[in-house]
Amino acid sequence: MANRKFNCRLAATLLLLLPAFPLWADQPASAKAPSKTASNSVSSNLVAAVPSGSNSVINTNVPLTMDTLDEKHTLAIGDRVSYRVEQDGDPAAQLVVTDSGDLEIPLAGRYHAVGLTCKKLAWVLKNALEKEFYFHATVILAVDAMSHTRGRIYVTGAVRAPGPQEIPSDEVFTLSKAIDRAGGLTDYAKGRKVRITRKDEASGKDKQMFIDVEKIIQHGNREGDLELQPDDLIFVDESGIRF
């Protein structure tokens, strides 16, 4: 009789203690609740990439592929750019567009940059590097700081203030703007046939264009207002007849 009472008490005690044991203790790891560390693995990796105690900020705008490189801004003299080849794993090199309009590219040498976008120049460099140095090269090129100007143009002839002018980097600089900055046409200027001399990049030879500036200024013909490029030479001829 005493043994039966003891067994009943033992069974009741075990029933009370059973809920304290986790039901999933013997289940496979895949069935367990995910750990907090695993769920935060992505953010942990991002945080680890930033040195502790630094003011570094993760730049989510940095282009990671050549397809996402900038194809709007055309490089200008004085622009500061970062350059790297993804396969190297090295930090980006800081380069500056020289006064001659070139970039000095590691391994590849000097390449003309003015007038090209980062995307277009990156593909030029990719092809060049893969010919001699790489089996496959992913070139990442980005502008860190733009120059205040995109070069110079020169206005000569029958204007009130002839001379060189800087091309602003933040606006479309046209022929009528250049004439206006030069003080406008003189009383004896041949405004109907202003000559612009520009070097052709393909042939390296000078080509000439003639624009009716009077029509642009007096009649607002903005369609004919030529956008100027670095090193353009504007010459306003003067009438030989004066009264």
Report the pLDDT averaged over residues 126-131.
95
pTM more than 0.75: no
pLDDT grade for 162, boundaries at 50, 70 and 90: very high
Q: What is the pLDDT of residues 143-152, one digit of tens each?
A: 998 887 778 8
Of 68-77, 177-186, 220-229, the range with the highest mean pLDDT is 177-186
Dig out the tokens for 19 from the structure.
Answer: 């809920």
pLDDT at 195 over 60: yes
Work out the end-to-end distance of the chain between its first and last CA atoms, rounded to an integer number of angstroms. 143
Let me know if domain 149-236 sits in CATH 3.10.560.10.
Answer: yes
pLDDT at 32 over 90: no
Separation between Cα atoms, residue 66 and residue 141, nearest integer Å: 8
Q: Which fold is adopted by the domain 66-145?
A: wza like fold (3.30.1950)
Report the pLDDT averaged over residues 21-42.
39
Counting Cα atoms < 13 Å in the Cβ hemisphere of 14 gives 6
- Percent of the chain topping pLDDT 90: 51
pLDDT at 28: 41
pLDDT at 121: 96
Q: What are phi and psi of 102, to 5 degrees?
A: -110, 165
pLDDT at 147: 83
Q: What are phi and psi of 129, to 5 degrees?
A: -65, -35
Task: Calculate the average pLDDT of the chain.
Answer: 78
33-37, 182-186, 191-195 — which is least confidently predicted? Answer: 33-37
Q: What angle (nearest 5°) sits at the alpha carbon of residue 99, between those of residues 106 and 210?
A: 125
Of 14-23, 109-118, 199-208, the range with the highest mean pLDDT is 109-118
Report the pLDDT averaged over residues 33-46.
35
Q: Which residues of the chain does CATH 3.10.560.10 include? A: 149-236
* Neighbour count for residue 198 (Cβ, 10 Å): 18
Q: Which residues of the chain does CATH 3.30.1950.10 include? A: 66-145
pLDDT at 104: 95
pLDDT grade for 44, boundaries at 50, 70 and 90: very low
pLDDT at 242 over 70: no
Dig out the tokens for 56 from the structure.
Answer: 């570094």
Q: H or E element: which one contains 95?
A: strand 93-96
Nearest to 216 by CA among 239, 196, 193: 193
- C-beta of residue 237 within 8 angstroms of C-beta of residue 159: no
